[in-house]
Structure 1
């Protein structure tokens, strides 16, 4: 049965109930996990998308298969990658896994084009070649959700939109969205799509988390709402800071991302972690699960995009989809994370 999410526009608010796993229920013990509609598309996804950004980099073949097996066993059905991740190895490993499991029809596959070394940019030829290469690596006949990984100012939007629409009409791409576009550029794209009579964007992937709110909430949210876009935040855990593992300079020195994480190790960042700790204790969960659950309360958010390097990390991520934060807890996190 399809239900509406309270407080969301009907165009982006449809869920479909899917049973949560016994493991997730044991960890969280709250509400059933529901699949969410991505914007105005027919895609219905588990609220946590498994990113392939570390596949073929910090996660080898065996780890990738184990991670994806764990993710699917816990209700997941949405895998997010890009043709540039590990020079295409991420797509290849995902394609190998789907082929081995015979589950392509059960998985929503999202990938991105524009940044690959072989086919850079968003010109017609580059888009066509990129998608054909991705299809081959993914061992599939179609991509469910194709993102424009960059905003390529050297190419007219009309050219890119026509190239993508050709792929949609050919059945090689179902839907597409933007991944690195300003609100103004999203509006330009929508106007151009209407003038050309081609398929419009249905999704937006952007950086959005408790430590990085201004970019999205300051303007992109309004545009996304106007256009009925499904929002899929990336860097949902602020490069790992919101896991709570990095609370001192000594912690940062033990991480390869120490320099990137240092920007969050402030009074504000520590206040956010303290609130996550308190709320996590109330739900018998982890800070990471609560940080993701906060994102899932935000209007238009269809799923958060997260990554795991080991299968043991997956349950903390998927558990967030079953956590129901109280209004007071949401308000507290809004307040302490405000800039």
Structure 2
């Protein structure tokens, strides 16, 4: 288990971005059941998921998760959600943060959000106002803990300073884009500030939009049906494919999936608490859960780190 704020979770977070998008209600329930049945407790979503999909308006993922929570009443479930990108609740003004949180609580069917992230920085709203708004949600019992997503190191430090000045709850988690093929920003800038303030890093795009599952091994994969295929195959450079080959050998040695190896490498990086990975189908869940439990050997870790150093391409 790993610790984020005052709760313990398996060191893997199930991404809810696919619920109501590439996974309908029944498929989402099956994935959630398999994840929880395999020991998973931590689920990540956002109020904006999946407003981009035809026919959706935002909140679909939260609604499905809320229905699952009501149906299954799972023990120890921890749900994180985010604010700033829902079409009806854009930005991080105090009024918007409060209104969006109340809407998320309704969709999730809970009395308190376990972990509430500022999804993206809002340059139009004074940071002091946003910090106070999140602090008030904690004080009022609507939110258990606060996190920041897609914030620069400087802005995270400023948030910490303001929260201490205002005497409100400080963030406990950072959610950045981080994986084996996208390392530089987190390792150079975010990890140091996370270490400075003892913040848990909860990376998204842990599998590089599917590339680190080993599924996309040539540019020809761009024609596949997956919404992320075109982005994933931009990593299919000679260096990227050499990395996948090495991961495949390591996965075979451990009797697990390439995705599990990507997650196992990520979870042991400094300040990382629980990588986020999503699944649209039940058969994908076991490989993800393995990523929370597979222990890589020192030479395997070193080989993957060396092969991915400097990046392999960019999606």
Output the TM-score relative to the length of structure 1: 0.87
User: Of the candidates 267, 272, 275, which is equivalent to residue 304 of structure 1?
Assistant: 275
User: Of the candidates 197, 201, 204, which is equivalent to residue 231 of structure 1?
Assistant: 201
Unaligned runs of 5+ in 2: 51-57, 311-315
> SS at 2:86's partner residue?
coil
> Number of aligned pairs?
302
- For 1:83 and 1:140, the matched residues in 2 are separated by 14
Does residue 338 of the first structure (1) align with residue 302 of the second (2)?
no
Q: In the TM superposition, what are the counterparts of 1:6-155 in structure 2 within 5 Å?
A: 35-38=1-4, 41-86=5-50, 87-103=58-74, 105-155=75-125
Residue deviations 1:155-192, cap 9 Å, x none?
11110111111110111101011101000101111111
- For 2:145 and 2:106, the matched residues in 1 are separated by 18
Q: In the TM superposition, what are the counterparts of 1:119-198 in structure 2 within 5 Å?
A: 119-198=89-168
Runs of 4+ in 1 over 3 A off after TM superposition: none
Residues 211 and 233 in structure 2, CA contact (< 8 A), matched pair in contact too: no
Task: Report deviation, 1:148.
Answer: 0.3
RMSD: 0.9
* 1:293 corresponds to: 264
Q: In the TM superposition, what are the counterparts of 1:183-332 in structure 2 within 5 Å?
A: 183-254=153-224, 255-332=226-303
Residue deviations 1:178-218, cap 9 Å, x none?
10100010111111111111111110011110110011011
> SS at 2:150's partner residue?
coil
Unaligned runs of 5+ in 1: 1-34
> SS at 2:171's partner residue?
coil
Task: Report deviation, 1:253.
Answer: 1.7
Task: Report deviation, 1:287.
Answer: 0.8
> SS at 1:293's partner residue?
helix
Task: Report deviation, 1:271.
Answer: 1.4
- For 1:49 and 1:101, the matched residues in 2 are separated by 18
